[in-house]
Amino acid sequence: MLVLTREIGETFNIGDDITVKVLGITGNQVRLGIDAPQHVRIHRAEVFRRIASRLQQLANRSPGT
């Protein structure tokens, strides 16, 4: 895992086409802005887990159910 220290307004890049910018810090919350191509899906971890769980449920259903 890469650990970075950034201040408000600073950015970092992931690959050639994703930029993450620190927009604000309030207490223990950090606001991030993510600039990525439209085909890149970005989800919070809890949303991603819910989507993955739902897809797994659908994959496990037997045909005709």
What is the pLDDT, as a whole number, of residue 61?
Answer: 85
* pLDDT higher than threshold 80 for residue 64: no
pLDDT tens digits for 50-60?
999 999 999 99
DSSP conformation class of 28:
T
Distance of CA 36 to the CA centre of its chain: 11
CA angle 51, 35, 42 (to 5 degrees): 5
- CA–CA separation, 65 vs 57, rounded Å? 12
For residue range 16-28, list pLDDT tens digits in order: 999 999 999 999 9
State residue 62's pLDDT score.
Answer: 66
